[in-house]
Structure 1
Amino acid sequence: MNLYKLGKALCSVIFYPMYRIKVIGRENIPAKGPVIICSNHISNVDPPVVGITNNRNIYFLAKEELFENPIIGGILKRVHAFPIKRGMRDRNALRKGLEILKKGNALGLFPEGSRQKSGEVGKGLAGAGFFALRSEAYIVPCAIIGPYRKFKQLKVVYGEPIDMSQYREEKASAQVVTDRIMEEIRQLHKIHQ
């Protein structure tokens, strides 16, 4: 068993009962082909929670600082995470994300870039729009509705894939596309709160 599958199994055993996770809309995630799962970000636990609540193996971008510790960095790499420099355009991370999608894999993004401790859905950074426009991936919005409290229900809601064809044809800006994705996440959050 590889480390990703082992991690997914362990996190499922711990987090499903601890947070009484309820998943809505899992069927909206395409079983095959490139997909970008874009979620709001309220906790450090969000990546494993998104990872265990769907059937795809997801590659996540993670802040570069986490990889500075050789042990943590080694584990993160083995569970499909790769580093991104925050606050600047990181060409290596962008290239790596596009390669992942080109191979038909799933990429997990938290467009807000940092946690929104209030639980509200914040403004997204243009990176999500960049990946959406530069790939043929399905874009699946995801709303994590917390807070993370032991034995209180946490909802993870996956919306229907967002049609990007018009945005790609019009050569829309990455920020415009990210704003659309964030609006979808906001609507899921509002409807299922």
Structure 2
Amino acid sequence: MYRHLYPLIRCVARLLFLLFGGYSVRGGSHIPCRGGCVIAPNHISDIDAVAISLACSRPAWYMAKAALFKTPYLRSIMPFFQAFPVERDRVDRAALREAARRLMEGDIVVVFPEGQDSPDGSLQTLRPGAAMLSLKCGVPLVPILISGTSRIMPVGSFVPGMLRAKTVLSVGRPIDPATMPIHLSLREKRSCLTRRLSDELTELSQPARGAGVRST
């Protein structure tokens, strides 16, 4: 049902972010129109997952921290929004298998590679899960730099505040896992791809980067 309602849900998200202060999407065409891909955004607010819909024209699956599924209300609605739990304090093989299955079926999977909200908005050390999925499934890794959401709904808040701020999503070019040097081991490729993702997210944070701006 979510897939059928996604255009409406996306319209509602756009209206909400207009009320919060507007939004712009830079490089939205970098998100593949078809086929599996891993979207790897930075994480500065609990509304980042909603913000992703501003740039993503087709519904995505979301890896979400398992703690959210322990709240009765959220546990009942998270599956509707195509979210599935992942344990952050260990390698969650069940979550990785679920993500890989969705990717191989041609879907988008959103993985926040920092593993948690950034307490100060700066990019934290990335975990290797997003890169590992990209390599395992042979799908592109798409970096997205989100800004502004932490002012609308700071870390630790349960609802948006009164502060208005513009949300900006800067989408980087897809990283093809096949470009990793073939002489490297799988672990080395994973580390190399994670470093490249971190570098891309850092570069996207520079104001001059990003053509094709759609602003509202």
Q: TM-score, normalised by structure 2?
A: 0.82
Question: Aligned to 1:148, what secondary structure does the other structure show?
Answer: helix
After superposing the two structures, state which structure 1 stretch, 159-168 or 71-80, moved more: 159-168
User: How many angstroms does 1:112 deviate by?
Assistant: 0.4
Aligned amino acid, residue 36 of structure 2: P
The SS at the match of 2:142 is strand
The equivalent residue for 1:29 is 31
- Name structure 1 gaps, 5 residues minimum: none
Equivalence for 1:151? 164
| Counterpart mapping for 1:19-98 below 5 A | 19-98=21-100
CA contact (8 A) 1:19 1:154 kept: yes
Q: Please point out which of 161, 168, 174 is paired with 2:174.
A: 161
Q: TM-score, normalised by structure 1?
A: 0.91
> Deviation digits for residues 79-133 of structure 1, max 9, x if unmatched?
1100001110111000000000000000111100011131111110011121111
**Alignment RMSD:** 1.9
Report which stretch shifted further, 182-191 or 89-98. 182-191
Larger radius of gyration: 2
Quote the Cα distance in structure 2 between the aligned partners of 1:114 and 1:190. 22
Match of 1:177 in 2: 193
Taking the aligned partners of 2:58 and 2:185, their CA distance within structure 1 comes to 29
Shift of 1:166: 2.8
Question: How many pairs were matched up?
Answer: 193
Identity %: 27
Q: Who is 2:101 aligned against?
A: 99
| TM superposition shift of 1:69 | 2.2
Distance, in Å, in 1 between the alignment partners of 2:118 and 2:62 is 18
Partner Cα distance (1:152, 1:7) in 2: 21
Listed as ranges, the gaps of 5+ residues in structure 2 are 153-162, 210-216
CA distance in 2 between counterparts of 1:156 and 1:60 reads 17
Classify the secondary structure of the residue corresponding to 2:151.
coil
